[in-house]
Amino acid sequence: MSLLYQNQVLYTAFGFHNSRPVFIGIFIIFQYIFSPYNEILSFLMTCLGRRFEFAADAFAKHMNRTADLRSALIKLNKDNLGFPLYDWLYSSWYHSHPPLLERIRALGKID
């Protein structure tokens, strides 16, 4: 990391020809160098959140509340003006909660 921080080429690329401001060096490193790691971590957190949603749905089914949950999910989706159909890959990457149809389908499959 110190090699990146001391690298004059990075500062020159961002318009700092004669100086190396500390804040700019830290910002460059964290914003541009660690950005791919942040994306991966964000995706993993999204996957974990979606897994928790399905676990909560399974618990509702275990408590014989499937119809109530289905009704609540439809009402929430309607109130939030959510679109029920998304590409699975787009939804997996960008949505912290599974789409409505995926959750309702999973409610029917949970044992």
Per-residue pLDDT at 31: 80
Evaluate if residue 10 carries a pLDDT over 60.
yes
Give the integer Cα–Cα distance in Å for 67 and 60.
9
| Structure confidence at residue 29 (pLDDT) | 77
pLDDT of residue 110: 66
Q: Please state, in angstroms and rounded to a whole number, the distance separating the CA atoms of residues 73 and 16.
A: 52
Question: How large a percentage of the chain has pLDDT more than 70?
Answer: 93
User: What average pLDDT does the chain have?
Assistant: 85
Residue 91 contacts by C-beta under 8 Å, 6 or more apart in sequence? 98, 99, 102
Res 19: pLDDT: 81
**pTM above the 0.75 mark?**
no
